[in-house]
Amino acid sequence: MTLADAAVDGPTLTNWAGNLTYSARAVHRPRSVEELADLVARAPRLRALGSRHCFNAIADSDELVVLDALPASVEVDTAARQVRVVGPLRYGEVAAALHAQGWALATMASLPHITVAGSTATATHGSGDGVQNLSAAVAGLELVDGTGERRTLTRADADLAGAVVHLGAIGVVTALTLDVEPTYDVAQEVATGLPWDLVLADYDAVTATADSVSLFTDWSGDAVGQLWRKRRVRADGTEDPRRAPAGAVPSTVALHPVPGGDPQSPTEQLGVAGPWHERLPHFRMEFTPSAGEEIQSEYLLPRAHAAEAMQRLRDLSPRITPLLHVSEVRTVAADDLWLSTAYRQDSVALHFTWQRRQEEVEGVLPAVEEALVPLGARPHWGKVFTAEVAGSPAALAAAYPRFDDARALFARYDPQGRFHNAWLERHGLV
């Protein structure tokens, strides 16, 4: 099947934000796992492509495979409190199916538009002091490896901790098993005017005011642009005593995190309680998320360094603010997945939604990384970072204690290098 036959974006295949054009000469759409296994066994170089929400070439290859022709299903095991997600389903689709059956996920990312397989493969996350990333919920994987063999991994397998955040290097994931819990409601509140002095003096106190807290800023001025707080509604109906920090002014109208954005596209605010999957993401499934035409970067580092990292970015404001739509600051709890950006460290996540000015963004990233890497920053695998600073093989190996073990696992699952690409090679991952 050629790119023209694929008709994903017409004759030219791009990621969703339009900052990347894929170089693949063919896109395949197998209709069964058997067809997929046969394709893998005979393709010299191949990568799986999900919702195309990555901003770098991590998914690019000579040939691509898209799983949207596979039968999809959401199968809940109530006794095990787990769900088996089959096919290329997006989080918004899985969440709606779960909620209809009385179940929920512990967290969601800002965008419900992203696929479960792609998000967990790159350690994508939601937020909260006690909330791990999306990958930590993975209890099992079903995949086709680099030899065309079908494999199933569970938490009983030692390989699972290394295989969950696999960056597409072990094969094509066809199904995942995730932990679930009974459904719950969430209320979301937005405030403005939170003074930077208060944030830098006691960031932990700010993030403790809700189950999930986001700061939206452009790093300039004396106050944070917006404070987003999401809290679970108590089942007994009693009021949550946590309040917004002093100095933050509750908004009486819905706001978009990107200045000038349409306030209809974010999820409901103003403290109105509703189903978890309609509040935990920042954006509604039916709208274009974020700014649309954009570039994203993100770095996670030990939250003990949060205040220093934020001050360093404020110092860089003259260089980075003119290129931003907005930045977001969140927290993520530690996990034990080898290539997770929160591997064994409670983390602060510093996210940048840049204007789509690729050359200028790439020009300022070294300064951002030179400020953050000495504090232990790990770049988000699916976003834009430099190979020379944060993304050099030496820097990545230093940031991930199990880096060499992950490389060895990738080699075992893909001995012929079918899933290798220039991006993995450039960062020393294969």
Domain assignment present for residue 378? The answer is no
Dihedral, CA atoms, 307, 310, 312, 314, nearest 10 degrees? -130
Q: According to the model, what pLDDT value does residue 1 have?
A: 28
Domain assignment present for residue 122? The answer is yes
Q: According to the model, what pLDDT value does residue 240 have?
A: 86
Same domain, 117 and 165: yes
Residues of the chain with pLDDT under 70: 1-11, 290-291
Same domain, 57 and 88: no
Q: According to the model, what pLDDT value does residue 99 have?
A: 98
Q: How many domains does the chain have?
A: 2
What's the CATH code of the domain at 40?
Answer: 3.30.43.10
For the chain, what is the radius of gyration of the CA atoms?
Answer: 21
Residue 17: domain span: 3-65
Among 124, 155, 183, residue at a domain's last position: 183
65-124 pLDDT tens trace: 999 999 999 999 999 999 999 989 999 999 999 999 999 999 999 999 999 999 999 999
Domain assignment present for residue 136? The answer is yes
Same domain, 59 and 127: no
Among 15, 37, 65, residue at a domain's last position: 65
- Nearest CA-CA partner of 67 in 49, 54, 43: 49
Domain assignment present for residue 325? The answer is no
Q: According to the model, what pLDDT value does residue 291 have?
A: 66
- Nearest CA-CA partner of 217 in 99, 329, 380, 342: 329
Quick check: helix, strand or coil at residue 92? helix
Domain assignment present for residue 32? The answer is yes
Q: According to the model, what pLDDT value does residue 54 have?
A: 95
CA 233, CA 218: separation in Å to the nearest integer? 31
Domain assignment present for residue 219? The answer is no
Residues 6+ away with beta carbon under 8 Å from 9:
none
Chain-wide mean pLDDT for the chain?
Answer: 94
Q: Would strands 249-250 and 378-379 be described as parallel, antiparallel, or unpaired? A: unpaired
Domain assignment present for residue 206? The answer is no
Same domain, 61 and 107: no
Q: According to the model, what pLDDT value does residue 351 have?
A: 98
Q: According to the model, what pLDDT value does residue 235 have?
A: 84
CA 261, CA 70: separation in Å to the nearest integer? 36
Residues 6+ away with beta carbon under 8 Å from 377:
299, 300, 301, 309, 350, 369, 390, 399
Helix (H) / strand (E) containing 198: helix 196-201
Helix (H) / strand (E) containing 86: strand 82-86
The neighbouring-strand residues paired with 144 are: 150, 172
Same domain, 55 and 98: no
143-162 pLDDT tens trace: 999 999 999 999 999 999 99
